Structure 1
Amino acid sequence: MYKFQPILKSLIWGGEKIAPYKGIATDQRNIGESWELSGVKDNESVVAEGPEAGTSLPELIARHGAALLGKANYGRFGEEFPLLIKFIDARQDLSIQVHPNDELAWERHKSKGKTEMWYVVSADKDAHLRSGFSKQVTPAEYEASVGDNTITDILADYKIAPGDVFFLPAGRVHSIGAGSFIAEIQQTSNITYRIYDFNRRDANGNTRELHTELAKGAIDYTVLPDYRTHYEPAQDTRVELVSCPYFTTSLYDLTRPETLDLASLDSFVVAICIEGCGTLTDDSGAAVPVHQGETVLIPASARSLAFTPDGGMKILTSWIG
């Protein structure tokens, strides 16, 4: 089992919640994102401790192959880790954006697309998220709404609370609102089409580049009655949140030990501790302490995984297959 050094990113809209949440000391300010587990080029995670400390995630995959990723995943993704795990702290509204699907991303960028999900860890009083269109619009109407600064009027806007979940398939217009603190699980892709940025300017007085035209061809204009992911919370059992071709994510809200049978899974498991603390133990007897804000990668070779909470612990798990 592996823990990795977080990659902290200071951003114009970033806040001050990530470091204390993770229990780390840093002089870095305006941390908008902590990349917990990443195989993105030039942003590869590095093992934080143990005999393989200092090893990058791609080097780890090259060394262990299918034993780390699973046979099917290794055949499908090779030495590219297929998920990107982040914590995001939005002090201001993030830009309105969309991501291309696999087909379009490959055609335009020789890259994978980006389907993702959000789990709300905490939320300020007026925190909100935008996901999807609130009414039917044409590509031309979308483009006009960007030009006259009314794009927010045609997006579904949700007040949020801890535990809320949003699934964001590639093509869905979305943005993270001020006061949101979320865990994000996504395909390994760093392709974002920025649609609208509230006319913000950086320290040099420049506005950020927009990709209005690129986004127009990437957007799914389908309108849904509700873009939230609804689930029934339950303690001491697996609660599936999202299942799609790119990841399956579940929530464990634990007050007592729970063991996962991984023998038939053929996939790595990512365990993200959202709240509390405890211990993860695999079938070899290797035990790793984990606390709020930490992420652990469990190799596909593990046959079982035991969660032992210390009082209480909330864990998100994600795998492929």
Structure 2
Amino acid sequence: MRAFKFTPLLKSMIWGGNRIASYKGIAVDRSDIGESWELSGVKGDESVVAEGEYAGMTLPELIGQLKGELVGHAVYERHGTEFPLLVKFIDARQDLSIQVHPNDVLARMRHGKNGKTEMWYVVAADRGAHLKSGFSEQLTPAEYERKVADHTLTDALCDYSVTAGDLFFLPAGRVHAICAGTFVAEIQQTSDVTYRIYDYGRTGADGKPRELHTELAKDAIDYTVLPDYRSHYVAAKNREVPLVSCPYFVTSLYDLDRAFVRDLSELDSFLIVMCIEGSGALCDDEGNEMPIRQGETLLVPASARLLRLLPDEHLKLLTGHL
């Protein structure tokens, strides 16, 4: 069974820009694309297979037909036809709102949905690009509310200048915001539960201030203060570089200028492959070969036992699995 390619879902946002279309090499007549949902099982926003014998089938439908052969037998037993990860490219022309996501327990109790733990890999960054992650000072819930009310919340957040290759892991409960000039690849739990804490007084498309979730967020926030909220790794050429390992996903980076073979025989899971730079192909143990280029994402089925990563000249890939 060969890897699957899906049609990206392009999302207009008030803070979005025009980098996603050019990065992916697609023509659009919009300049406000904030997100490209590469793989999604979110209800109402399900990814659709782009080509091949399953073209036109949604991701949940595909899982329903192929079951564990596609996602892994243990994954199918646990999640059924719900794809457990949401994969995006995000282009911030302006600052995103300051947000927090509840954990599984709180999200399921309040909304009947998953919580959201996520990670960001910075693909590109303009001069002066930055993002916010975590508190820089200890706050109580009451102090947090006061800072939202008097517009000083940003003073209590850690702000990081970013460049391409920077990595941030954001467990549920960590306050955060992607800011202007930052372009990231995001891998997260399948969830659309977001609490907007602060939005700089902006108005939405209807001209009204966007809704804040101050009270809901108060119990969702992890108020722990850490010395550093960045995730650190050692970059290397032509080998697997582990990035994040958590209960919800495991991610790695490959920066290749020659062929690399990844053994999947012990992995009872699908493999997401996002092409961050360059071009090449993926070839599995059955001889199925699928081209991949910058801005594309492929879903490698769990039935694959081996994967050859074949760069044309240069190929940088971000991978994720359960």
TM-score norm. by structure 2 comes to 0.99
The size of the alignment, in residue pairs, is 320
- What pairs with 1:124-163 in structure 2 (closer than 5 Å)? 124-163=126-165
Equivalent position SS for 2:48 = coil
**Paired residue for 2:67?**
65
Aligned AA for 1:135?
Answer: E
For 1:99 and 1:201, the matched residues in 2 are separated by 22
Q: CA deviation at 1:212?
A: 0.4
**Match of residue 221 from structure 1:** 223
Q: Does the aligned pair in 1 maintain the 2:18–2:30 contact within 8 Å?
A: no
Amino acid of the residue matched to residue 115 of structure 1? T
CA distance in 2, matches of 1:227, 1:130: 9
Separation in 2 of the partners of 1:204 and 1:155?
A: 29
1:83-106, Cα deviation, whole Å (9 max, x unpaired): 000000000000000000000001
- Aligned with 2:49: secondary structure? coil
Aligned-partner Cα distance in 2 for 1:111–1:10: 24
Where in structure 1 are there 5+ consecutive unaligned residues? none
Distance 2:206 2:174 in 1: 31
State the AA in 2 paired with 1:50: G
Q: Distance in 1 between matches of 2:206 and 2:104?
A: 35
Alignment of 1:41-80 (within 5 A): 41-80=43-82
The range that moved more, 155-164 or 201-210, is 201-210
Alignment of 1:265-280 (within 5 A): 265-280=267-282
1:89 is matched with 91
Distance 1:6 1:111 in 2: 23
Structure 2: distance between partners of 1:99 and 1:226: 20
Match of 1:181 in 2: 183
Moved over 6 A (4+): none
What displacement does 1:29 show? 2.5
Q: Distance in 2 between matches of 1:246 and 1:152?
A: 29
1:61-117: per-residue Cα shift (whole Å, max 9, x none)? 000001111111111111100000000000000000000000000100011100000
Distance change in 2, residues 1:291/1:135 (3 Å): same
2:4 aligns with 2
CA RMSD of aligned residues (A): 0.6
1:224-263 to 2 correspondences below 5 Å: 224-263=226-265
> Take 2:27 and 2:292, find their aligned partners in 1: how far apart are those partners?
17
Q: Which amino acid aligns with 1:145?
A: K
Matched residue SS, 1:62: helix
**SS where residue 68 of structure 1 aligns?**
helix
Mapped to 2, the partners of 1:315 and 1:151 lie a distance apart of 36
Structure 2, unmatched stretches of 5+, are none
* Shift in Å, 1:204: 3.4
**Secondary structure at the counterpart of residue 39 of structure 1:** coil
Taking the aligned partners of 2:17 and 2:234, their CA distance within structure 1 comes to: 31
User: 1:44 aligns to what SS in structure 2?
Assistant: coil
Contact preservation (8 Å) 2:17, 2:32: yes
Q: Distance in 2 between matches of 1:26 and 1:129?
A: 27
Query: What SS does the corresponding residue of 2:223 show, helix, strand or coil?
Result: coil
Check whether the contact 2:131–2:178 (CA below 8 A) recurs between aligned residues: yes
Q: How far apart are 1:27 and its partner, in Å?
A: 1.4
Tell me which residue corresponds to 1:99.
Answer: 101
1:26 is displaced (CA, Å) by 1.3
Query: Matched residue of 1:29: which SS?
Result: coil
Matches within 5 A, 1:303-318: 303-318=305-320
Matches of 2:23 and 2:155 in 1, distance apart?
33
Q: Report sequence identity in percent.
A: 65
286, 289, 292: which one aligns with 1:287: 289
Cα distance in 2, alignment partners of residues 94 and 121 from structure 1 = 17
2:192 to 190, 193, 199: 190
The one-character-per-residue Cα deviations of 1:7-41 (angstroms, maximum 9, x if unpaired) are 00111000000001001111133000000000000
TM alignment of 1:23-38, pairs within 5 A: 23-38=25-40
Write the letter of the residue equivalent to 2:168: F
C-alpha displacement of 1:203: 4.0
Per-residue displacement from partner, 1:101-156 (whole Å, max 9, x unpaired)? 00000100011100000000000101101000001111111110000000100000
CA distance in 1, matches of 2:237, 2:302: 26
Whole-angstrom CA distance in 1 between matches of 2:131 and 2:14:
18
Instruction: Provide the rounded CA distance (Å) in 2 between the counterparts of 1:210 and 1:181.
Output: 25
The whole-number CA distance in structure 1 between the counterparts of 2:207 and 2:287 is 56
Q: Describe the superposition over 1:30-61 as per-residue Cα deviations: whole angstroms up to 9, x where unpaired.
A: 00000000000000000001111111000000
Aligned counterparts of 1:203 and 1:71: Cα–Cα separation in 2: 44
